[in-house]
Structure 1
Amino acid sequence: MAKELSMTSRVGSDNQRYGPKGERLVAGVVPLSPDKTRVLLIQSTHRNGWVLPKGGWELDEATASAAACREAWEEAGIICKVERDLGHIPDTRPTTAVTKNAPKASYQFFEATVTEERADWPEKHKRTRQWYAYAQAVQLLHSRPELLEALRRSSVRK
């Protein structure tokens, strides 16, 4: 019995969880096709490029995987089943790249199988989604070491 999916993306950081060093806790998914041959990427809203669905783990969410699935819905319009925890990935950006709008983060990614792709979703107006084979995804994520590491840890067919 799935709870109703909101068509409104969460915004703001009032409800954001932070780690012991003040880092923003970010949860995301590596959304795979059922046969694990492809990964679903979404367009970044900040730069031209592709990213994995991810976002802040919020205080009213019991688990990071619940936050990751919510982000997958809001950003990619997908319903997914979490298969396994890919662990924590540190933010490797130099301090010069850390800003008030992009504070240091600690990433926790989950491998998930996409069970459904909906035609409408909260961020459809600002993002597209696209399936890629591993080699293509690696090229597209090359400037984001934390996303590449999550992809590398997943069981996508390499």
Structure 2
Amino acid sequence: MAGQSMTSRTGTGNQRYGSKGERLVAGVVPLSSDKTKVLLIQSSSRTSWVLPKGGWELDEDTASAAAQREAWEEGGIICKIDKDLGMIPDIRPTNAVTKNAPKASYQFFEATVTEEKVNWPEKHKRSRAWYTFSQAAQLLAQRPELLEALKRSSMKR
């Protein structure tokens, strides 16, 4: 990632969509180098802990590039992508899908955090913290797609 921007991208004008109209979302499972801890970030509403993720945009060649940008914007971390954890469908019930949270298709990547910056684009609205597998699994329990990404990773249980 050449030169991190201090501005978060906003809006959906540049957003990629799948064949069924679902929003394509890319994210990372950011692990410590020894794979014993995962870095979670607060949701923008600060009500829950989540994995860094966001829309894969048209000017990004790969989903992994989008995932790395999201890790930077939301968590202030530089990470190396280790492996593709595959696609995870959005399994929310229809009544949980809204205009602000449309149906999505998630592609997560396992990544090793190589650097944690002091300042990052969304520092003013998010905290970050390291957790063990069992702690993270509990925190992500309300978000089945995030829990599935965590389970697919090679993080030490």
* TM-score range for the pair, normalised by the shorter chain length: over 0.9
Match of 1:79 in 2: 78
Give, as a single letter, the amino acid of the residue that structure 2 aligns with 1:22. Answer: G
In 2, the alpha carbon distance for the partners of 1:22 and 1:142 equals 26
**Alignment partner of 1:51 is 2:67:** no
For residues 14-47 of structure 1, the C-alpha deviation after alignment (integer angstroms, 9 at most, x for no partner) is: 0000000000000000000000000000001135
* Contact in 1 for aligned 2:46/2:125 (Cα 8 Å): no
CA distance in 1, matches of 2:11, 2:19: 20
Matches within 5 A, 1:1-158: 2-46=1-45, 48-158=47-157
Q: Which amino acid aligns with 1:152?
A: K
CA distance in structure 2 between the aligned counterparts of 1:16 and 1:114, rounded to whole angstroms: 26
- 1:61 is displaced (CA, Å) by 0.0
Q: Taking structure 2 as the reference length, what is the TM-score of the superposition?
A: 0.99
Unmatched 5+ stretches in structure 1: none
Contact 2:87 2:106 in 1 (8 A): yes
Quote the RMSD (CA, aligned, Å).
0.7
Whole-angstrom CA distance in 2 between matches of 1:100 and 1:51: 20
1:74-100, CA deviations, whole angstroms, 9 ceiling, x for partnerless residues? 000000000000000000001111011
CA distance in 2 between partners of 1:131 and 1:122 (Å): 19
Give the whole-Å Cα distance in 1 for the aligned partners of 2:48 and 2:98. Answer: 20
Query: Matched residue of 2:141: which SS?
Result: coil
| Identity rate, percent | 76
SS in 2 for 1:72: helix
Q: Which runs of 4+ in 1 moved over 3 A?
A: none
- Contact in 1 for aligned 2:46/2:126 (Cα 8 Å): no
Alpha-carbon distance in structure 2 between the residues aligned to 1:120 and 1:113: 19
TM-score w.r.t. structure 1 length?
0.98
Provide the C-alpha distance between the structure 1 equivalents of 2:11 and 2:45, rounded to a whole number of angstroms: 16
CA distance in 2, matches of 1:47, 1:144: 15
